[in-house]
């Protein structure tokens, strides 16, 4: 699960994660998507850029 807020500055970033994911999977440049979603600072940008969604991989072992 994407963290609710940016670790560094505390801005809420979880609300844009799904749109970011959908749009980058469509082949859009992450840079333009982040700019359009209003994620300006590099601390918040890395939260989305580097996030790995692992929850589905944990499920078989629950």
Q: State the nearest-atom distance from the C-beta of 43 to other proteins, in Å.
A: 10
Q: State the nearest-atom distance from the C-beta of 15 to other proteins, in Å.
A: 4
DSSP assigned state of 15: G
Which two three-digit tokens encode residue 58?
């944990």
What is the radius of gyration, based on Cα positions, of the chain?
A: 12
Q: Give 11 or 46: the residue with its C-beta nearer to other proteins.
A: 11
Q: Do residues 43 and 52 lie in contact, with contact meaning Cβ atoms separated by under 8 Å?
A: no
3-class DSSP state for residue 8? coil
Q: Give 5 or 46: the residue with its C-beta nearer to other proteins.
A: 5
Q: Which residues contact other proteins by CB under 8 A?
A: 1-2, 4-6, 9-12, 14-15, 17-18, 41, 55-56, 58-60, 62
């Amino acid at each position: 699960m994407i963290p609710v807020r940016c670790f560094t500055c505390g801005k809420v970033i979880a609300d844009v994660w799904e749109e970011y994911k959908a749009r980058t999977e469509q082949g859009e440049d992450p840079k333009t998507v982040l700019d359009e979603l209003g994620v300006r600072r590099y601390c918040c940008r890395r939260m989305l850029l580097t996030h790995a969604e692992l929850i589905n991989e944990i499920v078989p072992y629950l």
